C-alpha cells in the first residue's frame, strides 16, 4: 500500500467552535523508513541478513528509488542497517565489530580497542526493584534477571557492572549460558532472545570507589571511578535493559563522537 499523509477531519456544521490541532505530515521518505523499521521489528529480515535492493523496495512501496535511498541513508546513520560496497544493505547485528563498539565506549589510552574478558559474579531471577521496573516500564514486582559481572582488559579488572533485564523477555538466561557464550552479551540477546539493542541513553558522573567496588576492581578505596548509568532500548523505543557500571580509567578513557 502506498503511504499517505493523515487526512484532515471534515468540519461539522453547527457544532460549537473547538480548537483542532493541525494535521501532522511526515515526508514520504520518513514514512518509508517507518515501514522498513516495521519489517525489521517483525523479523522479516533477520540481523545480518541482506535486505531487498533499493529498486525492489521502491517497487514494493510504489515510490521512487531516491525516496528509498534517503530512508536507508537515515537507517544507516542510526546503525540499524549497514551498507557494504558492491554487496548491498544488511540488517545490523551485534556480532559485527563496528556495532559492538557502539555500546562499549571505554577505549584504551594506548593500543587498539578490543573486547574485554567477562567474569560473571552472579545471575539470578528476582523481584524487580521499584526504580528498575519503572525505568523498564513493567509492572511493579514483576521479575527481572539480575547480572553482576567484572570485565577485564589485558587481565586487569576495569568495569564492574550490574544489569537488570525484563524477566518475561529473557527467560532461560543463566550464568552458565553467559559463561559459555564467547561473543558480546548483546549478540547473545539478539541471537537467543530475539532482542536487539537499538540505542542507549547514558548518564555519567565521577564517584569514589567504596569498599565493595574497590575489592572487585582491585583498587584502593576512594580511588576515582567513572559511574555510567545506561538504559538500552529495542525497536519501538522499548526499554529492555538497565545497566549501572563503574569504570577504572587509569589506562582507559570514555570516548564519544559528537556530530
**Per-residue pLDDT tens over the stretch 116-150:** 999 999 999 999 999 999 999 999 989 999 999 99
With bands split at pLDDT 50, 70 and 90, how would you rate the model's confidence at 3?
low
Query: Which grid cell sits at 60?
Result: 514494493
In this structure, of 24-38, 147-161, 185-199, the range with the lowest mean pLDDT score is 24-38
* Boundaries of every domain in the chain: 28-91, 97-254
Superfamily of domain 97-254: Chorismate lyase-like (3.40.1410.10)
pLDDT value for 48 = 92
Instruction: Find where cell 473547538 sits.
Output: 18
Residue 95 pLDDT > 70, yes or no? yes
Does the pLDDT of residue 19 top 70, yes or no?
no
Looking at the predicted structure, is the pLDDT value of residue 154 above 50? yes
Helix runs in the chain, H state only: 28-42, 54-61, 65-77, 97-100, 130-136, 175-180, 185-193, 211-217
Q: Based on the number of CB atoms within 10 Å of its own CB, is 110 exposed (0-12), middle (13-18) or buried (19 or more)?
A: exposed
Q: Does domain 28-91 have CATH number 1.10.10.10?
A: yes
> What's the pLDDT score for residue 102?
82
**Distance separating alpha carbons of residues 43 and 47, to the nearest angstrom:** 8
What does DSSP assign to residue 21?
A: P
Which residues are CB-contacts of 79 (< 8 A; sequence separation ≥ 6)?
A: 92, 99, 102
Mean pLDDT to the nearest integer, 150-161: 96
Amino acid at each position: 500500500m502506498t503511504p499517505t499523509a493523515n487526512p484532515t477531519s471534515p468540519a461539522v456544521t453547527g457544532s460549537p467552535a473547538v480548537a483542532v490541532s493541525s494535521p501532522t505530515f511526515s515526508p514520504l521518505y520518513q514514512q518509508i523508513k517507518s515501514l522498513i523499521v516495521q519489517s525489521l521489528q517483525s523479523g522479516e529480515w533477520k540481523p545480518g541478513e541482506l535486505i531487498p535492493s533499493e529498486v525492489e523496495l521502491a517497487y514494493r512501496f510504489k515510490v521512487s528509488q531516491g525516496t528509498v535511498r534517503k530512508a536507508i541513508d537515515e537507517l544507516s546513520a542510526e546503525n540499524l542497517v549497514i551498507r557494504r560496497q558492491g554487496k548491498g544493505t544488511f540488517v545490523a547485528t551485534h556480532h559485527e565489530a563496528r556495532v559492538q563498539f557502539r555500546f562499549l565506549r571505554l577505549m584504551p589510552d594506548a593500543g587498539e580497542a578490543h573486547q574485554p574478558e567477562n567474569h560473571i559474579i552472579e545471575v539470578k531471577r528476582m523481584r524487580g526493584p521499584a526504580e528498575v521496573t519503572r525505568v523498564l516500564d513493567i509492572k511493579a514486582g514483576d521479575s527481572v534477571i539480575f547480572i553482576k559481572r567484572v570485565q577485564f582488559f589485558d587481565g586487569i579488572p576495569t568495569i564492574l557492572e550490574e544489569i537488570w533485564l525484563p524477566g518475561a523477555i529473557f527467560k532461560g538466561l543463566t550464568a552458565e549460558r553467559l559463561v559459555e557464550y564467547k561473543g558480546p552479551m548483546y549478540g547473545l540477546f539478539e541471537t537467543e532472545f530475539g532482542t536487539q539493542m537499538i540505542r542507549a541513553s547514558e548518564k555519567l558522573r565521577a564517584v569514589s570507589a567504596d569498599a565493595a567496588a574497590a575489592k572487585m576492581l582491585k583498587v584502593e578505596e576512594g580511588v576515582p571511578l567513572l559511574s555510567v548509568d545506561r538504559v538500552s532500548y529495542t525497536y519501538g523505543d522499548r526499554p529492555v535493559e538497565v545497566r549501572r557500571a563503574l569504570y577504572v580509567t587509569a589506562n582507559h578513557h570514555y570516548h564519544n563522537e559528537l556530530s
